[in-house]
Amino acid sequence: MTKINQFSKYANEYKNHNIIQQIAAKSLIRELKSKPKRILELGIGSGQVYNNIDWEYDFYKGIDASKQMCELHPKSSKDEIVCLDFDSQEFYENIKNDKFDIVLSSSALQWSKDLSKVIEKLKDISNEINACLFTSNTFKTIQEISNTRSPILTLDSIKEAFDKHFVCEYEIYQYKLEFENKKELFDYIKKSGVSGENSLDFKTAKKLYKEYPLNYLEFEVIFVKTVSKV
């Protein structure tokens, strides 16, 4: 299963399995220093960021690679929703003649195959990026027990990609999400949209279910605010 398929498969249920994404999206908007008029958002999902935009803007462009997510996302006459992969040449072509006051992205850019390249392209069309990304320390104990590696970017690689093109401020948050039982806990991982395509073989999954010592899931999120271009 590819990452995009996973988001799509659970697109309808996703709203109930994205508590951390909701918190992150809310914080991202709350911490903005201005009320930008022209907004580009990458990895829009079902509208967690959009739903927190409570000021009058002129234009909003939302990008997501999942057709189902693009269909779920709310849309007004000032909005353009485009179904594109933010790592693709088509995306770069689509935005290259635009100018935006800000680029926003919440819980999405950790899937980029070349984050530095995305940021380099964004540098040409905006002076400001505010984003939050899950890091590979998400579900850390699960990776340790199952001897697997996270499919998402590490904290250092995220910082390295941004530092190449912008002077940035970073804040790192660790969230713990508690569950009443293991079944709910493991169910949540699959539907959360941050677990990726790695599926465990039966033996490892059984070991994990038996040995997981916590009644919570671990998430790590990095908030990035660009200050100036390098």
Ligand X SMILES: C[S@@+](CC[C@H](N)C(=O)[O-])C[C@H]1O[C@@H](n2cnc3c(N)ncnc32)[C@H](O)[C@@H]1O
Q: Which residues bind ligand X (CB under 6 A)?
A: 4, 7, 18, 21, 25, 43-45, 48-49, 63-66, 69, 85-87, 106-108, 111, 193-194
Nearer to ligand X, 96 or 206 (CB): 96
Phi and psi angles of residue 201, each rounded to the nearest 5 degrees, phi first = -70, 165
In the chain, how long is the greatest CA-to-CA distance? 54
- For the bound state, the minimum distance from the C-beta of residue 64 to ligand X, rounded and expressed in Å, comes to 5
- For the bound state, the minimum distance from the C-beta of residue 69 to ligand X, rounded and expressed in Å, comes to 4
Nearer to ligand X, 52 or 204 (CB): 52
Nearer to ligand X, 54 or 201 (CB): 54
Nearer to ligand X, 41 or 128 (CB): 41
Q: In this structure, what token pair is assigned to residue 20? A: 């951390």
Do 21 and 48 contact (CB within 8 A), yes or no?
yes
Nearer to ligand X, 7 or 162 (CB): 7
* CA gap 61, 126 in Å, rounded: 13
- For the bound state, the minimum distance from the C-beta of residue 194 to ligand X, rounded and expressed in Å, comes to 6
Neighbours of 63 (CB within 10 A): 23
Q: Are strands 59-64 and 79-83 parallel, antiparallel or unpaired?
A: parallel
User: Per DSSP, which regions of the chain are E strands?
Assistant: 38-42, 59-64, 79-83, 102-106, 129-134, 166-178, 216-229
* CA gap 221, 62 in Å, rounded: 22
- For the bound state, the minimum distance from the C-beta of residue 22 to ligand X, rounded and expressed in Å, comes to 7
- For the bound state, the minimum distance from the C-beta of residue 113 to ligand X, rounded and expressed in Å, comes to 7
